Amino acid sequence: MYIIVGLGNPGREYAGTRHNIGFNVVTRIADDYNMSFNIKEHKALCAKGFIAGQKVLLAMPQTYMNLSGESVGALVNYYKINPEEELLIIYDDVSMDVGRLRLRKKGSAGGHNGIKSIISHLGTNVFPRMKVGVGAKPEGWDLADHVLARFNDEDNKKMRDVLGIGCEACKDFICFGIEEAMNRHNN
């Protein structure tokens, strides 16, 4: 079984913000594979189904970004998956241009509080992740204001394109593993 987690903040006021790109990617995956987010468990809204013949749980933690590890840790422990091979975390990255995508096998939190929480709850930084570029904060802006802002029209088009790429990268992660997914999709 694979667990694919999109990070974000629950609530209408956060929908469409940069910080919620993880929610957007897993929603696209659910749409493409005919899954419904109709299960609430382990502090997450979840959808179950199959991708390329493999059982998959999609999750959107409802703990707010900074406490994402509470939900992710509970899901990993309950389903007894190996986070190094069967977990994929999808989240926003302000150090990458809008619409860029990068997969990694492991790494530090890089200042991302959601990832910091997951590392703390899993006790390791070795788990696959998909970083989606949301652009650097404009000069003079507070980082929180930037990640909680919505995309302009031009950036929205780039983000729609990257949702499809993210969905394909997720399928490749499940079919071939993180190394091959990195080879195919890191741009």
Q: Which of 19, 42, 112, 121 is catalytic?
A: 19
Q: Other C-beta atoms within 10 Å of 97: how many?
A: 12
Is 19 one of the annotated active-site residues of the chain?
yes
* Among 136, 147, 143, 110, residue whose Cα is nearest residue 125: 110
CA 45 to chain centre: 13
2-6 vs 54-61, strand pairing mode: parallel
Residues identified as active-site = 19
